[in-house]
Amino acid sequence: SCAAAVSLGRQVLVADVAKDPFWERPRAAILAAGLNASWSTLIKATDGRVLGSLGVYHATAGLPGQRELRIMAHAAQIAGIAIERRLAEEALRASEAKFRGLFETIVEGVYQSGPDGRLESVNPAFVSILGYDSPEQLYALRDVGALYWNPEDRARFTEQIERQGEIRNAEFVLRRRDGAPVVVLENSRAVRDAAGRVIGYEGTIADITERKRAEQAVFAEKERAQVTLHSIGDAVISTDADGRIDYINPVAENLAAWRLDEARGKPIGDVLTLIDEISREPIDNPLLCVLGRGRSNAAT
């Protein structure tokens, strides 16, 4: 009758197992055990979901009285509370395990700190980025400002996060345990209590040191190239992929009668017009033809 109660979604009371069709298969076994009545009621969650059923078996055939029904209802209610709690605990453990797995394996450094900035929880990536051997070494730091390469950055962090509640894509230079600088991209937020007081901070840092070095190398190479182009005796014009000017050297400025600050961002056709030396008619700019073929090839 317990399975029947769940299947039917209602209480099932069997007064005489010997005569009830629900008990056709297991009838011999239940009667041999000296049980003649079966009363089953649903166990429900607080939101009405069916969690199971509670069965009571009686040696004497017959239906339950009001007292027995009240006892069954009360027992089913207690069972529902216990089952819900167990399910909630299992869901919480699963969620914590999932979060812990993410926390331990994510490549970004993740941290939680108190209102004074002292670290309370960090993941392995955070430890690695700062060159420490264990989280405990970071927890032992009393002056978290020592992690900042520039002392004023700590004050800037605190002022901004308390004023705005968060920091998005902020670059800071931190100090590794060995004293070397590491450039990080930080996203953090203030954690507040019900009264709005800051009770801590949490966020992530990503090591962008190599990216910054690459950017600096590209910038330096571009600077060197522009110095060379600036002093070369030929006219030099460079454009982006859309044919808009991003650099012209002094010789090209004189030939085109455009200054770099005026020409930058303009289509090359507006700045440089090629003229046939015999017919004195405008001719197609070969650079525009090359750019057009490049876009056509990219599209195919």
Using one digit for the tens of pLDDT, what is the confidence trace for 215-267?
A: 777 777 777 777 666 667 677 778 887 888 888 888 888 877 888 888 888 88
Same domain for 216 and 269? yes
What are the structure tokens assigned to 278, written together?
A: 């015999």
* Cα distances (Å, whole numbers) of residue 241 to 212, 256, 295: 24, 21, 9
Q: How many domains does the chain have?
A: 3
In this predicted structure, what is the pLDDT of residue 292?
61
Same domain for 222 and 198? no
In this predicted structure, what is the pLDDT of residue 119?
93
In this predicted structure, what is the pLDDT of residue 92?
83
What tens digit of pLDDT does each residue of 16-43 get? 888 887 777 778 888 888 888 888 889 9
User: Residue 73: which CATH number?
Assistant: 3.30.450.40
For residue 130, give its domain range: 107-207
Which one of 82, 102, 122 terminates a domain? Answer: 102
Which one of 81, 102, 123 terminates a domain? Answer: 102
Same domain for 198 and 242? no
What are the structure tokens assigned to 1, written together?
A: 């009758």
Which one of 102, 125, 155 terminates a domain? Answer: 102
The answer, yes or no, to whether residue 206 has pLDDT greater than 90, is yes
Count the alpha carbons within 13 Å of 37 in the hemisphere toward its beta carbon.
13
In this predicted structure, what is the pLDDT of residue 168?
92
The answer, yes or no, to whether residue 211 has pLDDT greater than 90, is no
pTM metric for this prediction: 0.52
| 293: confidence class by pLDDT, cuts 50, 70, 90 | low
Same domain for 96 and 6? yes
How many angstroms separate the first and last alpha carbons of the chain?
70
